[in-house]
């Protein structure tokens, strides 16, 4: 891959981060940043997927609980 055009300000930021993090080269800094962003992206997708599942199942679960409560039937929780 060829060079990436960045502004002087971005170049200074890259250099400062590289030194602060003790990373030997700019390319290693970029690889580290990419891995971090990829992990964050995957975690965010998982969070959204879980939230979607909770939203989909929540209404059905509340309805089931209401029906069980109205029928006077307790869920099996080991207590009798």
DSSP line for 18-66: HHHHT-S-HHHHHHHHHHHHHHHHHHHHHHHHHHHHHHHHHHHHHHHHH
pTM for the predicted model, two decimal places: 0.63
What confidence tier does 9 reach under pLDDT thresholds 50, 70, 90?
Answer: very high
Please say if the pLDDT value at position 76 is more than 80: no
Average pLDDT over every residue of 52-61? 86
- The packing angle between helices 26-71 and 8-21, to 10°, is 80
**What is the tens place of the pLDDT at every residue in 58-72?**
888 888 888 888 887
Greater model confidence, 45 or 66: 45
């Amino acid at each position: 891959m060829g060079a990436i055009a960045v502004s002087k300000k971005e170049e200074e930021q890259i250099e400062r981060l590289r030194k602060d993090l003790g990373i030997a080269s700019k390319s290693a800094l970029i690889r580290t940043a990419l891995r971090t962003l990829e992990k964050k992206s995957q975690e965010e997708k998982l969070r959204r997927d879980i939230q979607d599942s909770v939203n989909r199942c929540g209404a059905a679960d509340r309805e089931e609980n209401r029906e069980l409560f109205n029928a006077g039937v307790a869920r099996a929780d080991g207590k009798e």
